[in-house]
């Protein structure tokens, strides 16, 4: 699985923990979209870059981290075709994939600890969209998105 990952300066430490956690896994290829150590960035720029990379099909999933995860999710969801979700507990991480087919998970370094973040990433990566009763809902999200992307 190809994963795009990015952060702002508020979450550099957490991003590096996640990268270290996923490095060495033969089933995962990571690309870091920034920020670099001691680099100040506007988180919307990082979120846009990761979301565009996922929307283009170059990457299957994305992980975005900032202080709260909220700003990253808001920005990523502006990119056509993206469903980004803030995941701060196991149930939301699972349902973001299984019910909402979210391709990008967002987390906040100021909200959760590193061990929980690693656990949530593992949950989110192993889950797939379940379809079923969620399919018409995700399709409706896409219809609404198309109506506003004109």
Check pLDDT > 80 for residue 150.
Answer: no
* Mean pLDDT to the nearest integer, 122-139: 96
Give pLDDT, residue 3: 98
Say which residues have a Cβ less than 8 Å from residue 14's Cβ, sequence separation at least 6: 7, 65, 107, 109, 114, 117
pLDDT digit string, tens, across residues 12-51: 999 999 999 999 899 999 999 999 999 999 999 999 999 9
Check pLDDT > 80 for residue 11.
Answer: yes
- CATH code, domain carrying 83: 3.40.1400.10
Coil/strand/helix, residue 104: strand
Nearest to 54 by CA among 6, 108, 123: 6
Residues annotated as catalytic are 66
Give pLDDT, residue 123: 98
Angle between helices 114-126 and 90-98 (to 10 degrees): 20
d(CA 29, CA 88): 23
Give pLDDT, residue 24: 87
pLDDT digit string, tens, across residues 60-81: 999 999 999 999 999 999 999 9
Full residue range of the structural domain in which residue 34 is found:
2-148
19/148: higher pLDDT: 19
d(CA 70, CA 52): 18
d(CA 109, CA 17): 11
Average per-residue pLDDT in the chain? 97
Domains in the chain, number: 1
């Amino acid at each position: 699985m190809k994963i795009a990952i990015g952060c702002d300066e508020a979450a550099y430490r957490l991003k590096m923990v996640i990268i270290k956690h996923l490095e060495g896994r033969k089933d995962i290829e990571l690309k870091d979209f920034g920020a670099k150590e001691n680099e100040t960035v506007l988180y919307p720029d990082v979120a846009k870059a990761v979301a565009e990379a996922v929307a283009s099909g170059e990457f299957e999933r994305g992980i975005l981290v900032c202080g709260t995860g909220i700003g990253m999710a808001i920005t990523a969801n502006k990119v056509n075709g993206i469903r980004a979700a803030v995941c701060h507990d196991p149930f939301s991480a699972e349902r973001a994939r299984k019910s909402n087919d979210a391709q990008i998970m967002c987390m906040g370094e100021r909200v959760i600890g590193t061990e929980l973040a690693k656990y949530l990433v593992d949950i989110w990566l192993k889950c797939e969209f379940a379809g079923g009763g969620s399919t018409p809902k995700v399709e409706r999200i896409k219809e609404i998105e198309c109506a506003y992307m004109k």
